[in-house]
Each structure stands twice: as C-alpha cells, then as structure tokens.
Structure 1
Amino acid sequence: MSERIQLKAGDAAPAFSAPGLDGEPVTLESFAGRGLVLYFYPKDNTAGCTLEAQGFRDHLADFEALGYAVAGVSRDSVKSHCGFRDRQNLNFPLLADKEEVVCTAYGVMKEKMMYGRLCRGIERSTFVISPEGRILHALYGVKAKTHVEELLELLKA
C-alpha cells in the first residue's frame, strides 16, 4: 500500500471532480471565488455522520457569513446521498466518491479497526480551502459531535 498523503496549510488544494446530488460533476472550480469547507465522512445515515451533517446544516448560514460554502464527500452513491439529504433536510452539496479518487487525493483513506477487523475507510476530516484554492486548515481525525462548532470558532478567530 502506498504512503498516505497528508495535506497541510499552504498546500494547493487538489483539484477534484465527483458527481453531486444531481449526478453532474462538482469540481473545486465550482466554488471559485469563495472559500470552501470540504468535509469527508465515512457513511451516509450512520449516527456520527448524521450528527456531523446536521451540524453543518444548522450552521450553514454561519459558514456562508464567513465566506465559505460547505460540501460533504463520502464513498456512498448519488442515490444514497439523495436519500440522506432528504431525510436530514441537508442544504449543501454531497459528492459521491465511490472510486475513492477525491478521498485519496486529500489523504483521508486509512486502515482502521472496525468490530475487531482491519478495514480501509475514510478518516473523518475537513479541509478549509481559500477562494484562491489553497489549504488554510487540514483537520484529520475530527470528532463528529464537536467538530462543526470547533471549526466555526477556528474560522472566527
């Protein structure tokens, strides 16, 4: 297995293209001219991922007031994302990265223990990207319960 990329502040944000909720490609350029909070989560409709998505939903206006759009990325399908959006009334794009291309470019895929077995999965992570496409903050291994509020405090500082 190749060594995992670890992005850091100041790096150029990797370009990406992945299907959005309508199945059309969403790219880094789709957010040109504004900041982007790009968050990676393991799976639609699971407890932690639902809590995190609800936090972004409930605080979307706060992020927008600071000049940031929000987008979520997981390995789930567009169909799964649409169901997740509808059940949780999500008000931001979700990107389907079934082939792990975006996840790999951002260094969020890792081996982890699940139910006593080693498996490959997404490490819950968030990247704050400037309007110019630079990484401002690369946050790996964040906690679903407190992440959104902590991220807002970081961006307000």
Structure 2
Amino acid sequence: MSVRTRVAVLAAAFAALPAVAGAQTTLKVGDVAPDFTVTTVTAKGVDAKPFTLSEHKGETVVLAFFPKARTSGCTVQMESYRDKYAELFKGGQKVTLVGVSADPDTALISWAKDAKFLFHFAADTERKVGVAYGASTGSGYHKRHLYVINPQGKIAYVTTPFNQMSADAYTELGDAITKSVGSK
C-alpha cells in the first residue's frame, strides 16, 4: 500500500470517528437547538425540577453562557439583564432566561441572592450544555455565547461572543427576542 493510500485510509477512518468529548459545536440560526437537562437555581435555592429545554417549546428561551459568577464582566452582563428585564424579556411573558456557567449551584444561588437576580441559572458543572452549544472551554469555563431559541425549538439568534459592555448588544438581543416571541 502506498503512502498516499495509507494517508487516505487514515483520513477516512478519522472522519468516521464520533466526535470526541469536549469537541466544539457550531450552531447557527435555523438549527434545532440541542436538548438538555440541567439543574437550575434561583436566589431561593435549587429548583425542584431540573430544566429540560424540550419542555419549554411554545416559549422563547434565552441561553446566556458566561465564564464565572461574580467576575466583573459577568456581573455587568447579569446586572444588565436584571435591570432591563421587563424591556428585554417582555416581563417574563413566554420568555425564559437561563444564565449558564460551570459554577456550582451554591455559588450561583449566593450570587443570585446577593444581586437580586430574578432569573434562573444553570449549574453546568459537567459542562455538557456548554459542549453541546460550543461554549465550553478546555479550562473549565464557558465562553460568553448567547442563543435565542424560538417557540419551535430552533435557534433564532446567536452571538459569539456576546459583548456585555455594548449597549447595541442588548438592543440586538431585545430585537431578536421580540422577533422570536412573534414567531409561532
């Protein structure tokens, strides 16, 4: 067997292998959002029932991946969601915001309580959701990715990275949510 033939055989074999754990996914507008189940928390504690994305069909879901609770950039982002909640998320009507990080639930509960965050956080400690959405890093943190998932379960808006310091980023998010809520 020639070297060229061996290289072609090896390339075909590697292409046929399943994706390795931790491989990054590239999702785009129109793709079906990967389903997942994860523990969620609020300032009141751990939610009684885990969050399963497919159980939220019929509503718009915003997944806001962020690196780490209580860091400066993440605090700016989550405080902006809190302060603009009624405007961005239509007062919660048919819109569910979930902040997703690899932080443990205790850290997220404490932060939500101290900062008076009214939305849910996902404790993605095993980084499975982050991997499915291409937000997980090899260092154990999530990148600042944002997804708007429409009532049909498809991705309606993606921004990677989400620029938490830009007022325009929140305007674009609000526009994407308005468009998604109207798409039934």
Same fold (TM over 0.5): yes
Structure 2 CA distance for aligned equivalents of residues 55 and 11 of structure 1: 28
Structural mapping, 1:1-157, within 5 Å: 3-21=23-41, 22-23=46-47, 24-65=49-90, 67-110=94-137, 119=139, 121-146=141-166, 147-156=169-178
Q: Which amino acid aligns with 1:94?
A: F
Structure 2 CA distance for aligned equivalents of residues 30 and 126 of structure 1: 20
Query: Larger relative contact order (C-alpha < 8 A, sep ≥ 6)?
Result: 1
* Distance apart, 1:58 and its partner CA: 1.4
Deviates more, 1:65-74 or 1:45-54: 65-74
* Distance apart, 1:120 and its partner CA: 5.1
- Judging changes above 3 Å, is the alpha-carbon distance between structure 1 residues 102 and 46 closer, same or farther for their aligned structure 2 residues? same
Q: Percent identity?
A: 29
Where does structure 2 lack aligned partners over 5 or more consecutive residues? 1-19, 180-184
Structure with the higher helix share, 1 or 2 = 2
TM-score by length of 2: 0.74
Q: Which amino acid aligns with 1:49?
A: C
Moved over 3 A (4+): 153-157
Where does structure 1 lack aligned partners over 5 or more consecutive residues? 112-118
Residues 149 and 157 in structure 2, CA contact (< 8 A), matched pair in contact too: yes
> Who wins on radius of gyration, i.e. which is larger?
2
Structure 2 CA distance for aligned equivalents of residues 106 and 43 of structure 1: 17
TM-score by length of 1: 0.85
Structure 1 CA distance for aligned equivalents of residues 160 and 94 of structure 2: 22
Structure 2 CA distance for aligned equivalents of residues 30 and 79 of structure 1: 25
